[in-house]
Amino acid sequence: MKSEHPLGIPTASSAAVLEAHEDQGRTVSRFDRWLLRRVMQAAGNPPIHAALWDDIDSYVPDGHSYGRIVFRNRSVLLGLMKAPELAFGDAFSEGQIDLEGDPVELLTRCFGTANDLGPTGFKRSIFGRLPTAETNTTAGSKRHIHHHYDLGNDFYKLWLDEKMVYTCAYYPRPDATLEEAQIAKMDHVCRKVRLEPGQTVVEAGCGWGSLALHMARNFGVKVRAFNISAEQIAFARERAEREGLTDQVEFVADDYRNVSGTYDAFVSVGMLEHVGANHFDQLGEVVRRSLKPDGIGLIHSIGRNQAMAVNEWLEKRIFPGSYPPSLREMMSIFENRFSVLDIENIRLHYAKTLIEWLDRFDRNADTIRTMYDEPFIRAWRLYLGGCAASFISGTLQLFQVVFTHAANNNVALTREHLYPSAGTNDTTPTSTHTWQQFD
Amino acid sequence: MKSEHPLGIPTASSAAVLEAHEDQGRTVSRFDRWLLRRVMQAAGNPPIHAALWDDIDSYVPDGHSYGRIVFRNRSVLLGLMKAPELAFGDAFSEGQIDLEGDPVELLTRCFGTANDLGPTGFKRSIFGRLPTAETNTTAGSKRHIHHHYDLGNDFYKLWLDEKMVYTCAYYPRPDATLEEAQIAKMDHVCRKVRLEPGQTVVEAGCGWGSLALHMARNFGVKVRAFNISAEQIAFARERAEREGLTDQVEFVADDYRNVSGTYDAFVSVGMLEHVGANHFDQLGEVVRRSLKPDGIGLIHSIGRNQAMAVNEWLEKRIFPGSYPPSLREMMSIFENRFSVLDIENIRLHYAKTLIEWLDRFDRNADTIRTMYDEPFIRAWRLYLGGCAASFISGTLQLFQVVFTHAANNNVALTREHLYPSAGTNDTTPTSTHTWQQFD
């Protein structure tokens, strides 16, 4: 029985999930086993065991095995040959596929062997797909963002950090907590754009408002923060009230493209993935007219080493309209406008962040079950675990790009100011040498 | 009287230089003044005075003036309308154009107003030109490199730092000396590729050998350093002998494309400008097969914000076959092979470096005059000053790109290790946190 699922998963009733398990009694034929081997081959022969609904390993990897995948009926196998990414995700959500073992480790190894196929092999495999045009017009973006970020603040509260920062954290030490790492990320961003008291900042895509409030509270700046997620903006405004920062931070329920005025800094953390490569030139224009002559911009985004379509299941069920661009594609934002000053790739920080989110999600699974159904929960675990695996296997990157108007010579001499004295927790803005002689 | 000039400047005799001044007595016509105004307009109306051979200002800028240009005959003006970059450089070398005032300031301001024309205006101006194909085959490269780098070590000794480092220095503090800044640059490079004692390094384009010797001496690594400049390699080998490092550093008189074996680090400082964008994929392949699975690469190169031809005079007279690529173009080296970990733009460090070189060149001009003629000296001053101006005006950039195999997870947590404790001159390798859990 199909129902209106918040993620759009085709079947969402528990009855459908139970039905899927009925094949378990059915005999496994030679054709089924052949299909399985074809599927595993198309995936690059990953180092895991694979079984059909008879629960007998029909595929055994050479060398070490990092887990096991079980296919509960034949139509799943056929679906995987046709539209592998979408079919895998939906089938897993519905319980037609199960993973045994640590899901992050298992998926990491699968992505790893797919990467080893090389660029041509990867593109021909079930993982590769050509980029398709997104529909991130002002209206389209609003629908896309609503699909994900308006799922409910109570839901997100259960597994994000206490400040509700839904982007890659930054771990200055491997043993930092998620809370410490999110604060460190916000400080890192603020230092990169060299915030000083009294300056003004425009933030494009402000989430639940943590970064905007952090900038105002810790660095003494005024912020105008844009977001088209109604739920997030409402939450952010309440926080500004509670923290007494309404005179410093203005949360605007609008698309970043409608920003006006000029600012000392432009900041966009975890928003570019929702823009789409065909809108990068437009974004570049918006930033160009919004940044003061010696202003500094920062874009923090998931990215790729080379252009490749986003995972089809992720794009349909979790983040519609999303596209993680290659560094080359990102240059469309900056060329003929800005100089790129600094690019940092913190890919593995996102892996650690996602593993922490997944862990908190698991620990609160019972509570989440009162909000959403089993397919939702399975889908979310696949999303968090699969993304962690993507970062660990090097399939996804995380770029922080710092830039400024090409003619601006009021730039820091070095990046030393990003790294305050070792051994202290000093987060006050550090002074920066600049090029007096060229300014 | 034409002679075989080391830089290929068409006229090199003092007689020709004197002849050029003969127009000084000739009457300046209305057509000449019109021509002058057209030239200044095509250059974007720069903020300097301009005079013809009557030494009377025929062009006066609005607002502040940063110097004065004098055109000594009509054919110069005509030449500038036809092939502006080449004509300007040759005419200046021959004394047919003079600059009054600080040449770096003057040229910076001229480049600045040209940049303000915007990308389309700049390209249509006398400064813009489409990229042309280089001829950096193995044979072609050898000729190109010989043209510049074999001009004579005694010549270069007079104005480079004492270690003969002919690339952009790195100033950790604004008041560092050139010598300190070149050492700081070498340390910076070594820290970026995280050198450890006992490791092996391949260096592509090693100049007079300073970096290779520095890596061996200070970081305890073995280096195989490639260079196709015969003069430079001879010098480097002598230094290795003198410093007792012949068992650690091998200087190879060969093209980097012939490297074999695998190494812990690949380093290329000031070489990419000589490769040409059409060879980037080939370079990427060479590095890919040369770098161990957890090896780190670093490419330090002059670059652009967006693709544009190199200055025609610079390419014909100073650096034949050279091409400073845009960041976008550089991605051809990395895509489908590597992850970019870190990009740092130290553009203004090169401005400061070049100003220091020009200053030392000027202080040793009399000695240089015993080696080379007046047009050579004028050309070299225009080259050093014009490049400084290019960096200050944001026409050129300096990128240090750090990269590694896409599957390598043995990467530093942060970039903190690049910035040892403030206030010390500690240059010993700093320990780095890495991602134990993902390695």
Using CB atoms within 10 Å of the CB of residue B19, give its burial: 0 to 12 exposed, 13 to 18 middle, 19+ buried: middle
- Checking if the pLDDT of A433 tops 70, the result is no
State the total domains in chain A: 2
To test the contact with chain B by mutation, choose from A108, A171, A175, A328 the residue with the greatest count of B C-beta atoms within 10 A, namely A328
The pLDDT > 90 percentage for chain A reads 73
Taking the C-alpha atoms of residue A390 and residue A115, their distance in angstroms, rounded to an integer, is: 10
The reply to whether residue B327 touches residue A345, judged by beta carbons under 8 angstroms, is no
Which pLDDT does position B215 carry in this prediction? 98
The reply to whether residue B437 touches residue A340, judged by beta carbons under 8 angstroms, is no
Which pLDDT does position A121 carry in this prediction? 60
Residues B14-20 have a mean pLDDT of 50
Which pLDDT does position A118 carry in this prediction? 65
**Rounded alpha-carbon distances, angstroms, from residue B25 to B21, B33, B52, B55, B162:** 9, 16, 11, 10, 46
Clarify whether residues A147 and A68 are in a common domain.
Answer: no
Which pLDDT does position A231 carry in this prediction? 86
Clarify whether residues A144 and A79 are in a common domain.
Answer: no
Residues A141-154 have a mean pLDDT of 78
The reply to whether residue B172 touches residue A338, judged by beta carbons under 8 angstroms, is no
A2-6, A221-225, A418-422: which range is least confident on average?
A2-6
To test the contact with chain B by mutation, choose from A416, A424, A430 the residue with the greatest count of B C-beta atoms within 10 A, namely A416
What pLDDT band is residue B343 in, cutting at 50, 70 and 90?
very high
Taking the C-alpha atoms of residue B404 and residue B380, their distance in angstroms, rounded to an integer, is: 38
- Checking if the pLDDT of B155 tops 70, the result is yes
Taking the C-alpha atoms of residue A169 and residue A360, their distance in angstroms, rounded to an integer, is: 15
Clarify whether residues B407 and B359 are in a common domain.
Answer: yes
Q: Report if residue B7 sits inside a domain.
A: no
Structure token pair of residue A129: 């797909």
Q: Report if residue B46 sits inside a domain.
A: yes
What pLDDT band is residue B24 in, cutting at 50, 70 and 90?
low
β-pairing verdict for A57-59 and A49-51 = antiparallel
The reply to whether residue A345 touches residue B341, judged by beta carbons under 8 angstroms, is yes
CATH number, domain with residue A72:
3.30.1050
Residue A207 contacts residue A267 (beta carbons within 8 Å): no
Q: Of A110, A190, A206, A387, which residue is the catalytic one?
A: A387
Clarify whether residues A34 and A163 are in a common domain.
Answer: no
Q: Report if residue A161 sits inside a domain.
A: yes
Q: Report if residue A157 sits inside a domain.
A: yes
Q: Report if residue A354 sits inside a domain.
A: yes
- Please tell me the distance in Å from B2's CA to the nearest CA on chain A: 40
Clarify whether residues A106 and A154 are in a common domain.
Answer: no
Which pLDDT does position A122 carry in this prediction? 55
For residue range B167-221, what is the model confidence (pLDDT) as tens digits?
A: 999 999 999 999 999 999 999 999 999 999 999 999 999 999 999 999 999 999 9
A16-30, A292-306, B256-270: which range is least confident on average?
A16-30
Clarify whether residues B408 and B355 are in a common domain.
Answer: yes
Q: Reduced to 3 DSSP states, what percent helix, strand and coil does chain A have, rounded to the nearest 5?
A: 45, 15, 40
Residues B33-59 have a mean pLDDT of 93
Clarify whether residues B103 and B163 are in a common domain.
Answer: no
Residues ≥6 apart with Cβ < 8 Å to A78: A35
Clarify whether residues A254 and A388 are in a common domain.
Answer: yes
Q: Closest by alpha carbon to A78, among A128, A26, A32? A: A32
Residue B190 contacts residue B232 (beta carbons within 8 Å): no
Coil, strand, or helix at residue A391?
A: helix
Coil, strand, or helix at residue B3?
A: coil
> Looking at beta carbons, which residues of chain B come within 8 Å of A431?
none
> Looking at beta carbons, which residues of chain B come within 8 Å of A359?
none
Taking the C-alpha atoms of residue A220 and residue A200, their distance in angstroms, rounded to an integer, is: 9
> Looking at beta carbons, which residues of chain B come within 8 Å of A341?
344-345
Which pLDDT does position B439 carry in this prediction? 63
Which pLDDT does position B120 carry in this prediction? 58
Clarify whether residues B161 and B300 are in a common domain.
Answer: yes
Sign for the CA dihedral angle at A75, A78, A80, A86 comes to negative
- Please tell me the distance in Å from B416's CA to the nearest CA on chain A: 6
Sign for the CA dihedral angle at A141, A147, A152, A156 comes to negative
Structure token pair of residue B174: 């604004």
- Checking if the pLDDT of A243 tops 70, the result is yes
Clarify whether residues B338 and B252 are in a common domain.
Answer: yes
Contacts 24+ apart (CB under 8 A), A77-82: A77/A32, A77/A35, A77/A36, A77/A39, A78/A35, A80/A39, A80/A42, A80/A126, A81/A35, A81/A38, A81/A39, A81/A42
Q: Report if residue B122 sits inside a domain.
A: no
- Please tell me the distance in Å from A254's CA to the nearest CA on chain B: 30
Residues B44-56 have a mean pLDDT of 95
For residue range A114-147, what is the model confidence (pLDDT) as tens digits?
A: 877 665 565 555 454 544 555 677 777 777 777 7
Closest residue to B438, CB basis, from A328, A348, A433: A348
- Checking if the pLDDT of A201 tops 70, the result is yes
> Looking at beta carbons, which residues of chain B come within 8 Å of A335?
305-306, 326, 328
- Checking if the pLDDT of A310 tops 80, the result is yes
Q: Indicate whether this model's pTM tops 0.90.
A: yes
Clarify whether residues A103 and A194 are in a common domain.
Answer: no
What range does the domain containing B96 cover? 14-116
Q: Closest by alpha carbon to A139, among A309, A258, A251? A: A258
The pLDDT > 90 percentage for chain B reads 73
What pLDDT band is residue B136 in, cutting at 50, 70 and 90?
confident
Q: What secondary structure letter does DSSP report for A430?
A: P
What pLDDT band is residue B377 in, cutting at 50, 70 and 90?
very high
A392-401, B128-137, B400-409: which range is least confident on average?
B128-137
Clarify whether residues A151 and A56 are in a common domain.
Answer: no
Q: Where is pLDDT greater, at B344 or A85?
A: B344
Q: Report if residue A423 sits inside a domain.
A: no
The pLDDT > 70 percentage for chain A reads 87
Which pLDDT does position B279 carry in this prediction? 94
**A387 belongs to the catalytic site:** yes
For residue range B85-104, what is the model confidence (pLDDT) as tens digits?
A: 999 999 999 999 999 999 99
The reply to whether residue B421 touches residue A422, judged by beta carbons under 8 angstroms, is yes
CATH number, domain with residue B377:
3.40.50.150
> Looking at beta carbons, which residues of chain B come within 8 Å of A171?
413
Place of tokens 């008291």: A197
Structure token pair of residue A227: 């977001």
What pLDDT band is residue B145 in, cutting at 50, 70 and 90?
confident
Residues ≥6 apart with Cβ < 8 Å to B227: B205, B206, B207, B233, B236, B251, B252, B253
Q: Report if residue B269 sits inside a domain.
A: yes
Taking the C-alpha atoms of residue A322 and residue A273, their distance in angstroms, rounded to an integer, is: 5
